[in-house]
Amino acid sequence: MNLQDMTPQSYDRYLSPLFAAEDEALRAAREEMQREQLPGISVSASEGKLLHVLALISGASRILEIGTLGGYSTIWLARALPPEGRLISLEIDPHHAEVARRNIQRAGLTQKVEVRTGPALEALAKLAVEDRALFDLIFIDADKDGYVEYLGKAVPLLRDGGLILGDNTLPDAVLNPKADSGTKRYNAAVADHPDLVSILVPVLRSNGIDGLLISLKKKR
């Protein structure tokens, strides 16, 4: 046994079928995204399952997602909701939003999920003035240059003890250590944040390793 001989691909081939097998709705969602020529940048099945388990652990009944694409991560997250739970997902591209709504409907989640079309910053400003309960979990996965601003808007919308999850936060930092990037600025802002306790966890993609930055909002 030699850890150096292991590749991310070999890990993924083992654990994804065992713990993150896709059912018909998830498979159909991926096929539909391909047919509609959406970019192949959804979370992997195993990261989807990680999102699902984190949502269950935190007992989330209100989830906010920033960056819907075709709704693949949306389905993993929304399936962790209790019967009265709700997820709002923000998407700037009307075509992505339309594909996502179809995929969410096929998964039987229309009653729980609302996809809001438009720039996330505008949607977040609206959410801040809506008379609504705080979110239990916020998944940040839209344009990487927006991450730091999304963090600033997300923290006040999150309950104490809630989770903020930041996708795609590892590769830039490791592959381009000198270059500036939105996710690196996000990682630094999270690491410095007085209200958050955080860890960046490597996650498997079929083509390599990415990262999910997990942050818990402390009680002040």
- Minimum CB separation of residue 68 from ligand SAH in Å reads 6
169 binds ligand DHB (CB under 6 A): no
Distance CA 109, CA 73 (A): 13
Select from 12, 20, 26, 43 the one that contacts ligand SAH (CB under 6 A): 43
Site for ligand SAH in 94-133 (CB under 6 A): 96, 119-120
- Minimum CB separation of residue 44 from Mg ion in Å reads 10
Distance CA 185, CA 166 (A): 12
Site residue total, ligand SAH (CB under 6 A): 19
- Mark the segment that binds ligand SAH (CB under 6 A) among 15-23, 35-43, 154-162, 205-213: 35-43
Find where tokens 């998407």 sit.
91
- Which residues does 149 contact at the CB level (< 8 Å), separation at least 6? 121
4 burial level (CB within 10 Å; 0-12, 13-18, 19+): exposed
Residue nearest to Mg ion (CB): 167
DSSP 8-state assignment for residue 180: -
172 binds ligand DHB (CB under 6 A): no
Sketch the per residue contact string, 82 through 121, with ligand DHB: x for CB under 6 A, - otherwise: ----------------------------------------
Phi, psi of 190 (to 5 degrees): -70, -45
Distance of CA 2 to the CA centre of its chain: 32
141 binds ligand DHB (CB under 6 A): yes
Distance CA 139, CA 74 (A): 10
Site residue total, ligand DHB (CB under 6 A): 5
Strand partners, 210: 203
- Minimum CB separation of residue 160 from ligand DHB in Å reads 27
47 binds ligand DHB (CB under 6 A): no
Is the CB of 122 or the CB of 160 nearer to ligand SAH? 122
Distance CA 121, CA 192 (A): 22
